[in-house]
Amino acid sequence: MATDFKAAADAVLNRVVTSEPCVPGVVAMVTDPQRNIYEGAAGTRRLDRDAGMTTDTVFRIFSTTKAITGTAALQLVEEGKLDLDAPAKTYVPEIGELSVIEGFDAHGEPKLRAPKRDVTTRMLLLHTAGLGYDFFNEHYNRLAQEKGQPSVVTASKASLMTPLLFDPGDKWEYGSNIDWCGQVIEAIAGERLGEVLKNRIFEPLDMRDTTFELIDALRQRVAGMHARNADGSLTPIDFELPSEPEVHMGGHGLYSTVGDYMRFIRMWLNDGSGAHGRVLKAETVQTAEKNHLGDKKVTMLPGVIPSLSNDAEFFPGLSKSWALTFMVNDEEAPTGRPAGALGWGGWRTCSIGSIAGTVLAASGPPRSYHSGIQCRSTDIWISRPRSTRACARSRWPEVQEDQQSYRTRLGRTLRHALLVMRRWRLGHRLVRCPSLLQQLRRIGQARFERAFGIACQSMCMIKNLLILFSDLKKAGGNRFGVVEHVGIRCADHTPAPS
Cα distance between residue 330 and residue 350, in whole Å = 30
Listed range (158-167, 212-221, 237-246, 280-289) with the worst mean pLDDT: 237-246
Residue 412 has what pLDDT?
Answer: 56
Say if residue 399 is exposed, middle or buried (CB neighbours under 10 Å; 0-12, 13-18, 19+): exposed
Distance CA 172, CA 131 (A): 9
Which pLDDT band, with edges at 50, 70 and 90, does 39 fall under? very high
DSSP of 438-483, one letter per residue?
Answer: HHHHHHHHTTT-----EEE--HHHHHHHHHHHHHHHHTTGGGS---
Residue 31's H or E segment, with its range, is strand 25-31
pLDDT tier, 114 (very low <50, low <70, confident <90, very high otherwise):
very high
pLDDT, tens digit, for every residue of 294-344?
999 998 888 877 767 677 788 888 999 999 989 998 988 887 778 888 888
Greater pLDDT, 389 or 187: 187
Q: Report helix angle 434-445 to 459-474, nearest 10.
A: 70
Query: 120 phi and psi, to 5 degrees?
Result: -110, 165
How far apart CA 377 and CA 227 sit, in angstroms, is 12
pLDDT in the model for residue 266? 92
DSSP 194-216: HHHHIIIIIHHHT-TT-BSS--H
Contact indicator for 248, 212 with CB cutoff of 8 Å: yes
pLDDT of residue 377: 28
Q: What is the pLDDT of residue 411?
A: 56
Residue 408 makes CB contacts below 8 A (sequence gap 6+) with: none
Dist CA 51 CA 78 (whole Å): 44
CA distance 358 to 447: 21
Global model pTM greater than 0.75: no
Q: What percent of the chain has pLDDT over 70?
A: 68
How do residues 179-202 score in pLDDT, each as one tens digit?
A: 999 999 999 999 999 999 999 999
Sign of the CA dihedral running 288, 294, 299, 305: negative
Q: What is the reported pLDDT for 366? A: 22
- Model confidence pLDDT, tens digit, residues 262-283: 999 999 989 999 989 999 999 9
- Least confident segment among 42-51, 67-76, 376-385: 376-385
Q: Given this model, what pLDDT does residue 211 score?
A: 96
Q: How far apart are CA 31 and CA 39, in angstroms?
A: 9
Does the annotation mark 171 as catalytic?
Answer: no
Rounded CA-CA distance 131/385 in Å is 29
Instruction: For residue 63, indicate whether it is catalytic.
Output: yes
Q: For residue 381, name the pLDDT band (cuts at 50, 70, 90).
A: very low
On the question of pLDDT at 260 being above 50, the answer is yes
Q: Where are the domains of the chain?
A: 2-72+192-494
| pLDDT confidence band for 485 (50 / 70 / 90) | very low
**What are phi and psi for residue 295, nearest 5 degrees?**
-85, -10
Asked if CATH classification 3.40.710 holds for the domain at 2-72+192-494, the reply, yes or no, is yes
Torsion sign (Cα): 39, 375, 384, 175: positive
CB 168 within 8 A of CB 238: no
Q: What is the mean pLDDT of residues 200-219?
A: 95
Work out the end-to-end distance of the chain between its first and last CA atoms, rounded to an integer number of angstroms.
45
Would you say how long the chain is, in residues? 498
Give the list of residues 6+ apart from residue 43 with CB closer than 8 angstroms, or none.
Answer: 13, 16, 17, 22, 23, 24, 25, 26, 52, 53, 491
Q: Which of 296, 358, 292 is nearest to 323 (CA)?
A: 292
Q: What is each CA distance from 145 to 142, 149, 152, 305, 495, in whole angstroms? A: 5, 7, 14, 11, 21
The gap from C-alpha 493 to its chain's centroid, in whole angstroms, comes to 16
For residue 237, what pLDDT is reported? 84
Q: Report the candidate in 378, 345, 381 with the shortest Cα–Cα distance to residue 491.
A: 378
Closest CA to 368 of 485, 245, 234, 272: 485
Positive or negative, the CA dihedral 149, 150, 151, 156 is negative
pLDDT band at 348 (very low <50, low <70, confident <90, very high): very low
Q: What is the pLDDT of residue 172?
A: 94
Residue 189 neighbours by CB under 8 Å, 6+ apart: 76, 195, 196
Among 34-38, 302-306, 398-402, the range of highest mean pLDDT: 34-38
Q: Is residue 273 annotated as part of the catalytic site, yes or no?
A: no
Q: Smallest Cα–Cα separation from 380: which of 329, 343, 346, 417? A: 346
Q: Give the span between the Cα atoms of 460 and 17, in whole angstroms.
A: 9
- What mean pLDDT do residues 469-484 have? 38
Task: In whole angstroms, give the CA distance from residue 329 to residue 335.
Answer: 12
For the cut 70, the answer to whether the pLDDT of residue 492 exceeds it is no
pLDDT digits (tens, 9 = 90+) for 117-136: 999 999 999 999 999 998 88
Over the chain, what is the mean pLDDT? 75
DSSP code of residue 312: B
pLDDT per residue as tens digits for the range 418-439: 554 444 443 333 333 444 445 4
Catalytic member of 140, 174, 255, 261: 174
Where is 227: in which H helix or E strand? Answer: strand 225-228
The pLDDT of residue 241 is: 84
